[in-house]
Amino acid sequence: EAQVTQNPRYLITVTGKKLTVTCSQNMNHEYMSWYRQDPGLGLRQIYYSMNVEVTDKGDVPEGYKVSRKEKRNFPLILESPSPNQTSLYFCASSRRLGHQAAYEQYFGPGTRLTVT
Amino acid sequence: AQSVAQPEDQVNVAEGNPLTVKCTYSVSGNPYLFWYVQYPNRGLQFLLKYITGDNLVKGSYGFEAEFNKSQTSFHLKKPSALVSDSALYFCAVRADSNYQLIWGAGTKLIIKP
């Protein structure tokens, strides 16, 4: 089954304790992205990756890191989480982006993070 | 600058009635437009997209959307609403000249029996 998986699904942590949210896709997609969803703000892009070893900042990258060492995996790292990073996080993947190439994104089930 | 607006936070429709969820956009160049749906406690699912061609696009679950270039709109429609259509709907847009996808704030659709 084609899917995007995220772990953990729920996480409660304390300020400053480093954490990693994993994301994996089994569709051989080149493009992967991380979003956060907050009420009334829709989806905001944190980071994205066009391919292995190619990552770039989205709209709200502060406080986050990513890496893309393998095509299937795109972990999100919070080095020192703060309460304002409490949110619902989604990983997504799609086929390549390009001029006149607009493929739909496949989303993971989400990770609900609470930072106290 | 690119932007997308979903002017209604919530839309209430009686089951069996037609529904419309509105989306307007602003991009430089030709737009690529998308609709996604989010059911409670789930990730987003793709519904339909407009890239080029016929202005009326048909998608999953009986939904369709009409691209209107003069009004810069891409409203989502369904002829007869089901209670199971109740969910959060997102419109998204990007220009053909760049890769950034811009998302609307979402519209909560409530279908009442």
pLDDT digits (tens, 9 = 90+) for B10-47: 999 999 999 999 999 998 888 999 999 999 888 899 99
- Residue A49, classed as helix, strand or coil, is strand
Q: Which of A4, A97, A109 sits opposite B99 (nearest CB)?
A: A97
- Residue A44, classed as helix, strand or coil, is strand
CA B59-B61-B62 angle, 5° bins: 70
- Least Cα separation, residue B89 to chain A (angstroms): 10
Give the position of tokens 């998308």.
Answer: B34
| Dihedral over alpha carbons B100, B95, A41, B90 (to 10 degrees) | -110
Q: Give yes or no for a contact between A46 and A85, defined as CB atoms under 8 angstroms apart.
A: no
Q: Return the pLDDT at B41.
A: 81
Residue A101's closest chain B neighbor by CA? B96
Mean pLDDT of all residues in A97-112: 82
Low-confidence winner among A42-46, B48-52, B98-102 (lowest mean pLDDT)? B98-102
| Dihedral over alpha carbons B50, A68, A59, A18 (to 10 degrees) | 140
What does the alpha-carbon distance between residue A42 and residue B89 come to, in Å, rounded to a whole number?
Answer: 10
B90/A107 Cβ within 8 A: no
Residue B30's closest chain A neighbor by CA? A100
Split at pLDDT 50, 70, 90, the class of A103 is confident
Q: List, in sequence order, every residue forming a beta bridge with B94; answer none if it has no partner.
A: B32
Half-sphere exposure of B92 (CA within 13 A, CB side): 25
- Least Cα separation, residue A92 to chain B (angstroms): 9
Output the average pLDDT for chain B.
Answer: 93
Q: Is B31's Cβ below 8 Å from some Cβ in A?
A: no
Q: Return the pLDDT at A97.
A: 67
Task: Answer whether residue A6 shows pLDDT above 80.
Answer: yes
Q: Is A90's Cβ below 8 Å from some Cβ in B?
A: yes
**Chain B hits for A108, Cβ within 8 Å:** 43
Identify the helix (H) or strand (E) that includes residue A101.
Answer: none
Mean pLDDT of all residues in B48-73: 94
Q: Return the pLDDT at B40.
A: 87
Is the CA virtual torsion A36, A8, A113, B106 positive or negative?
positive
**Chain B hits for A45, Cβ within 8 Å:** 100-101
**pLDDT tens per residue, range A14-68:** 999 999 999 999 999 999 999 999 988 889 999 999 899 999 999 899 999 999 9
Q: What is the 3-state secondary structure (H, E, C) of B65-97?
A: EEEECCCCEEEEEECCCCHHHCEEEEEEEEECC
CA B92-B95-B99 angle, 5° bins: 85
Q: How many residues does chain B have?
A: 113
Q: Return the pLDDT at A102.
A: 73
Q: Is B96's Cβ below 8 Å from some Cβ in A?
A: yes
CA A15-A109-A112 angle, 5° bins: 20
Q: Return the pLDDT at B59.
A: 94
Q: Return the pLDDT at B30.
A: 86
Q: Return the pLDDT at B42.
A: 84
Q: Is B43's Cβ below 8 Å from some Cβ in A?
A: yes
Whole-number percent of chain B with pLDDT over 70 = 99
What does the alpha-carbon distance between residue B87 and residue B36 come to, in Å, rounded to a whole number?
Answer: 10
